[in-house]
Amino acid sequence: MSIDTPQVRTRRGSELFLLACGLGIGAMAYAIIGFALDDSIPAEFFTFIATMSVLGLLLHAVIRKAAPFADPLIMPIAFALNNVGLAMIFRISRAMDSDLATKQLGWTAVSIVACAVVVFFVKDHRILRRYTYVTMLSALVLAMLPLVPFLGREINGAQIWIHIGPFSLQPAEFSKILLAVFFAGYLVENRDRLALAGPKIAGIQLPRMRDFGPIILVWVTSIVILVMQRDLGTSLLIFGLFVAMLYIATERISWIVIGFLMFSVGVVAALSQFTHVQSRFDAWLHALDNEVFNAEFGGSGQLVRGMYGMASGGLFGTGLGEGRPTIVPFSYSDFIFASLGEELGLTGIFAILLLYVLFVQRGFRVALGTRDGFGKLLASGLAFVIAWQMFVVIGGVTRVIPLTGLTTPFMAYGGSSLLANWVIVAILLRISDNARRPSPLPLRGATGSEDDGTRRRSAVINDANVQAVDPHDQPEQNTEHFQWMNQLDNAGTQVIQRRDVISAQEAPATTDAQPVAPGGESGRPTTAPTPHAAPSFPSARSAQSQGSPRTSPDLPAVPQPEQDHTPPRYSRREDSE
């Protein structure tokens, strides 16, 4: 039997090279800052090199072992952005005489180890689909935890933190991952109803009222977060994620229009009723007014100082270690983008944005390459989360939209955001490994026994040859829930049996005769065959309805193909070609 076995390179060597480049960028930044401040290489330089080298090689080894076909760009990009953020936090901590850089390096170690754990132990991303509604409930509970008395804590007017012993966490960072899992699981089951059902008004396809339930729930949650927690960023992130994934699943622009109108109505209502929402919009619309600038809470002083800092950086920046980013409050977290703009200039900012764009592009590329609907939606949602969060952060710092409390992914100070973003990297790596891993599929006409035998081949990976392997045939994955998920993903896809093809070829071609006109020989009506009639494979139901073969006084009986009463088998891929 001939097998279509594609040869695919794992690209792990490219990943290791890019990993070394990302480490070199961070090391050069540390050295430049040390020479700018002390005319020597700082002692933290060697700690940074040793720690990040061990962490990078550890994660690379885990990916090489557990996900050899994962995307080779996602992890190095995140690693490089993390290193640039560490260097900038080190520069600010030296100016503030604090230990922010040491703490952030510790959180980086925890986050990268967590990424390695997720990649190693989560063998298939589709297992998350079984917990669709569990993740929804967990996400809502995490989002509301800051409102619990004696657990939540208000910082700078926003109640988005919780304290557990000596640690403080921002649970909304983990809610976005759980909500992405829930949205992917919910939409892959209901996208047809959301896309096709419902009335059409003014050219816009509207959903049925019964389908508005989850949308209303997410909308209410986002408004409660906006009002009770005074957190515009998380509210905007949650609702924007849901609307974007709705559009990806249904391809209906009407969902974008409905989502925008619903969120706008909620914001206008909150703006007219709550003073803290009004102060946020005043700081955005009247940032240069003296009264708003000098306000003790909710003023625009932080925003205006950040904008002047970026303006002073110009095209090429003042240079690492040569600016004054500490003038801006929270320059190491909420306004680290403004700090980078001051010392790296517009050119450096564009380079950083290019890395983010490439990261998002690879995320959407993973979504296009994966073979199951749940993985497509999940990868798209996670990639959109990073892109949407960057827009909200940069838009707030540059005064395009009101300032929010979100932080720059991978770069800003904070353990919660860093840990959540590295978990996103792990999930994308797992999905990309399943998407890029070649699966040996039989050519058309392969028999069932031959196909089952080829799919049980093991992977042989070496420097000279890479043999294709089905990732779901590993012993640890041969469980009941994986069979259940395969049936969900591939329901309706059948493999044509070789004996059906052979019996159809051996049987004489049958034509559907259509009466033309009376008057042929012996008064019998003449018939004209339909040209190019495709061979058909009768099923058991059609055989019962047809009864005996068709006969004619002058024509021999047409032999019928042997009936195949075996149940249809399902292939592992949607496209068996």
Across the chain, which has 577 residues, the per-10-residue mean pLDDT values are 60 94 95 91 92 96 94 96 95 90 94 96 91 88 83 71 78 90 88 72 68 74 76 82 88 81 82 78 88 82 91 92 89 91 94 96 94 92 94 91 86 92 96 82 41 40 36 43 54 42 46 43 42 41 42 45 50 41
| Whole-number pLDDT of residue 556 | 44
Q: What is the pLDDT of residue 474?
A: 40
Q: Helix 301-313 crosses helix 336-369 at what angle (to 10 degrees)?
A: 80
- What is the rounded CA–CA span in Å between residue 369 and residue 178? 22
What's the pLDDT score for residue 487?
60
User: Looking at residue 488, what is its pLDDT?
Assistant: 54
User: What are the backbone dihedrals phi and psi of residue 467, each rounded to the nearest 5 degrees, phi first?
Assistant: -90, 140
Give strand pairing partners of 163: 168
Q: Which residue has the tokens 């069979």?
A: 483
CA-closest candidate to residue 124, choices 519, 484, 500: 484
Query: Which positions ≥6 away from 210 have C-beta within 8 Å?
Result: none
CA atoms of 102 and 88, how far apart (whole Å): 12
Question: What pLDDT, on a 0 to 100 scale, did the predictor assign at position 483?
Answer: 59
Tokens of 347: 């050119």
Gap between the Cα atoms of 393 and 337, Å rounded: 8
pLDDT at 212: 67
- pTM of the entire structure? 0.75
CA dihedral 211, 386, 393, 327 (to 10 degrees): 150
pLDDT digits (tens, 9 = 90+) for 512-521: 444 444 444 4
What is the model's pLDDT at position 354?
A: 96
Predicted local distance difference test score (pLDDT) of residue 203:
65
Residue 313 in tokens: 């950086």
CB 28 within 8 A of CB 80: no
Strand, coil or helix: 399? coil
C-alpha 92, offset from chain centre: 32
* Whole-number pLDDT of residue 275: 76
Torsion, Cα 181 86 71 73, to 10 degrees, reads 140
